[in-house]
Amino acid sequence: MNEFDDHRYAADDPAGDTTARTTGDYELAERQALRRVAGLSTELTDVTEVEYRQLRLERVVLVGVWTSGTLVEAENSLAELGRLAETAGSLVLAGLIQRRDRPDPATYIGSGKAKELRDVVLAEGADTVVCDGELAPGQLRQLEEVVKVKVVDRTALILDIFAQHARSKEGKAQVELAQLQYLLPRLRGWGESLSRQVGGRAAGGVGIGGRGPGETKIEIDRRRINSRMAKLRAQIAGMKTARDVKRARRVDRQVPGVALAGYTNAGKSSLLNRLTDAGVLVENALFATLDPTVRRCQASDGRPYTLADTVGFVRHLPTQLVEAFRSTLEEVADADLILHVVDAADADPQAQIRAVREVLAEIDALGVPEQLVFNKVDAAEPDALLRLRHLAPDAVFVSARTGAGLDELRARIEQRLPRPDVELNVLVPYDRGDLVARVHDSAEVLATEHTADGTRLHARVGPGLAAALEPFVSAPLT
């Protein structure tokens, strides 16, 4: 059993009690309500028009190029590609790794290896090849011509998973924008049937039927895609405005922000549920949740702060996704503290840390204070935990499934949260209860006393609230 197996569903409750179900439970049940039947496919045999069809993976063969690092790292990368393919709904039949200095510019793996790959595809009965890297349009086309089945690269695979899991209006718009950015340079037109229609004098010698406007379909597609991308960017900008207003409201009230960031499937959503009872969707799958969730928390001394869950990262995260989700990832860049969640049970957690920090650098978030949190310690080997404790002595080790280490994590968050700048002793009249409420809502209250003249407070507050309380400054509490 893993941390995702302990959810209760009303369908399993003999009493029919639905009160135990959360929003995440309903979303997970809805996602699992329609499943693909293995072995059945409706793919067309012609692969020259793959960009005009929805990506539907069935029986796939994985192939990667090992250019640097160790063989173990290359195998871990291909294993992760297999998990991505399974998350997209496919059945992985085989995985191949080729050792070479750099990917072949024509077919990614070279002409000879492409023919060998074709033999593997035929032997396994596969209908799709998934490459562990982002292929150029020419590489995709030439490799398809050799293997005679659909070829998908890592970027298209991740985009397809995002398209399946996006739920909010903003998330769907961001994914569509990323898909169109990926699709635009890969348009091919409708096969080769229009390549002879060159039009005008250039058609000399072609004869009747060769004169005319030429191949205009692809240009029409490009214009439509560019128009749709402009509309999506405008929509996302409008949604960003609403997000900025909410964020500005929190800043004005001096509410610190903590962001959960980390590798996909490291357990960020499980951790959020444990810390805040958010009830968001949790699933043992890569990129299970995409939409950010912000919840209000309170430190033991009364200080409020927000805890935000964000989209997970992965090795070689497509640049289109980073750009499209930039407005969402700003929750991380604008935070006062980043909880960098790492899967302690992963085969290579250090690679996860490097991949996450690369994305943090892209969104200018490396300057934000970071707290490493190793999750899933209940599933990790003791020797692996010893190595991680030596690697990161200041990290916190927790299990979102069992609750181990959560008290230490809460204490570490409180310790690293920014504290209000101004310490005051005030006597607030009872007719200014609004100021007392503001102090309790957004400041650190050190002591409280109710007197005949009003409420005496000893608190640490921000500059704005300090100015409002200045007329009521009094002697220290006895």
Q: Enter the DSSP assignment of 151.
A: E
Q: Which residue has the tokens 């409180």?
A: 414
Q: With beta carbons less than 8 A apart as the criterion, state whether 57 and 87 touch.
A: no
Q: Are residues 404 and 433 both part of a single domain?
A: no
State how far Cα 86 lies from the chain centre. Answer: 17
Q: Report d(CA 52, CA 183) in Å as an integer.
A: 9
Q: Locate 80 and state its tokens.
A: 């992760």
Q: Which of 162, 185, 216 is the last residue of a domain?
A: 162
Exposure pattern of 12-34 as b/e (b: 16+ CB <10 Å)?
Answer: eeeeeeeeebbebbebbeebeee
Distance between CA 224 and CA 222 in Å, rounded? 5
Whether residues 263 and 405 fall in one domain: yes
CB 344 within 8 A of CB 397: yes
User: pLDDT digit string (tens) for 240-286?
Assistant: 777 777 667 666 666 788 999 989 888 888 888 888 876 766 666 67
pLDDT digits (tens, 9 = 90+) for 449-469: 888 888 888 888 777 777 888
d(CA 215, CA 231): 26
- Single out the residue in 416, 437, 456 at which a domain terminates: 416
Question: Are residues 388 and 443 both part of a single domain?
Answer: no
436 in the same domain as 365: no
Q: How far apart are CA 75 and CA 266, in angstroms?
A: 19
Whether 21 maps to a domain, the answer reads no
Which residue range is the domain that position 432 belongs to?
Answer: 422-472
Instruction: Mark residue 237 as left, alpha or beta (left: phi above 0; alpha: psi -120 to 50; beta: remaining).
Output: alpha
Tell me: do 260 and 356 sit in the same domain: yes
Is residue 17 included in any domain, yes or no?
no
Residue 210 lies in a domain: no
Q: Are residues 393 and 453 in the same domain?
A: no
Per-residue confidence band for 436, with pLDDT thresholds at 50, 70 and 90: confident
State pLDDT tens for residues 10-45: 334 444 444 556 766 766 666 655 555 554 444 444
Q: Are residues 374 and 435 in the same domain?
A: no
Planar angle of CA 144, 154, 358, nearest 5 degrees: 150
The confidence score (pLDDT) of residue 189 equals 55
At residue 281, the pLDDT reads 64
276 with 377, same domain: the answer is: yes
Amino acid at the residue 420: P
67 lies in some domain: yes
Q: Is the pLDDT of residue 362 over 90?
A: no
Instruction: Using alpha carbons, list the distances in angstroms from residue 114 to 91, 118, 140, 253.
Output: 21, 6, 12, 60
pTM of the model: 0.71
Average of per-residue pLDDT across 417-438: 83
CB 3 within 8 A of CB 404: no
Asked if residue 128 belongs to a domain, the reply is yes
Q: How confident is the model at residue 162 (pLDDT cuts 50, 70, 90)?
A: confident
CA distances from 68 to 100, 111, 164 (A): 9, 21, 32
Q: Where are the alpha helices (DSSP H) in 303-405?
A: 319-324, 326-333, 349-362, 382-391
| 220 SS3 class | helix
By CB atoms closer than 10 A (0-12, 13-18, 19+), residue 182 is buried
Angle (nearest 5°) at CA 181 between 179 and 184: 105
Q: Are residues 440 and 409 in the same domain?
A: no
Structural domain includes residue 311? yes
Give the count of domains, the chain: 3
Whether 60 and 143 share a structural domain: yes
Q: Indicate if 398 and 446 belong to the same structural domain.
A: no
pLDDT grade, residue 213 (50/70/90)? low
DSSP 10: G
Give a yes or no: residue 84 inside a domain.
Answer: yes
Q: How many CB atoms lie within 10 A of CB 474?
A: 16
- Domain of 53, CATH number, reads 3.40.50.11060
Same domain for 431 and 340? no
Looking at 416, 432, 462, the residue that finishes a domain is 416
- At 6 the three-state DSSP class reads coil
DSSP letter assigned to residue 366 = T
Measuring CA to CA, which residue among 246, 282, 242 is closest to residue 266? 282
**Stretch 394-401: mean pLDDT:** 92
In three-state secondary structure terms, 118 is helix
Determine, yes or no, domain membership for 16. no
Residues 6 or more apart whose CB falls under 8 angstroms from that of 412 comprise 371, 396
